[in-house]
Amino acid sequence: MNYTEKIRTYINVEKECIDEVYNNIDEQTYNQAVEAILNCKGKVVFLGVGKSGIIGKKLAATFASTGTTAFFVHATEALHGDLGMIEAKDIVVMISNSGETGEVIATITPIRAIGAKIISITSNPESTISKASDINLNLFVEKEADPLDLAPTNSSTATLVVGDAIALTLSHVKKFGKSDFALFHPGGSLGIKSSK
């Protein structure tokens, strides 16, 4: 049996989702997010659970390796002591497609008490997390690629692409070069490539 037609179908659905995100970028909001991170005196802390948490972990690694100090905090662990990793000078990037993830919502009040700024990445600007944020990046993802509209697919891809694009924009503005990358990433084939 040939499955490639179905595979291409789902790839195309995600491509269309990214086109939608691209076409709906709000310049003012995205510029505010980049400026806030550029002016941040602390760290960028990605926070989420589930697939959003996995994307957050990857984005933290990308930010860190391209010149923006960042790390990931799992929202559940945050509620059990890891909030102590966050400082007033930090920016917390909350990832939740629905904007109503309970574990993430539970961190809002203590993060506000700490004094950190909140940027959220959601697909619902009217959600609890979006409204509690200083800056909300709305992805406009209305449906997942999954025919059941359950498995995070379009939403996780959109978050990853937007996060990567912001990381690379920051890297460009900071004039982060090959030698800088080599310093942070000396291992593996990328380490060899960046040191040449």
Alpha helices in the chain (DSSP H): 4-23, 27-38, 50-65, 75-78, 102-114, 128-132, 154-173, 178-184, 188-195
Question: Does 147 reside within a domain?
Answer: yes
Quick check: 74 pLDDT over 80? yes
CATH number of the domain encompassing residue 68: 3.40.50.10490
Mean pLDDT of 34-52: 98
89-146 pLDDT tens trace: 999 999 999 999 999 999 999 999 999 999 999 999 999 999 999 999 999 999 999 9
Q: Is residue 7 part of a domain?
A: no
For the cut 80, the answer to whether the pLDDT of residue 183 exceeds it is no
User: Is position 131 within any domain?
Assistant: yes
Does residue 33 have a pLDDT over 80?
Answer: yes
Kindly state whether residue 184 falls inside one of the protein's structural domains: no
Cα 155 from Cα 160, distance rounded (Å): 9
The pLDDT score that the predictor gives to residue 195 is 63
**2 is a domain residue:** no
Residue 194 confidence (pLDDT):
65
Residue 176: the pLDDT is 80
Query: Which value, to the nearest 10 degrees, does the dihedral of the CA atoms of residues 178, 182, 184, 185 take?
Result: 120
Q: What is the mean pLDDT of residues 54-63?
A: 98
The dihedral formed by the CA atoms of 40, 55, 95 and 173, expressed in degrees to the nearest 10: 30
Residue 1 lies in a domain: no
pLDDT given at position 196 = 66
Does position 25 have pLDDT exceeding 80, yes or no? yes
Report how far residue 14's alpha carbon sits from residue 49's, in angstroms, rounded to the nearest whole number: 22
Domain holding 120, by residue range, is 26-178
- Check residue 181 and give its pLDDT: 74
The dihedrals phi and psi of 29, each to the nearest 5 degrees, come to -65, -45
pLDDT in tens, 141-167: 999 999 999 999 999 999 999 999 999
List Cβ neighbours of 68 (8 Å cut-off, separation of 6 or more): 37, 44, 167, 170, 171, 174
Based on the structure, what is the number of domains in the chain? 1
Pair of tokens at residue 34? 């980049």
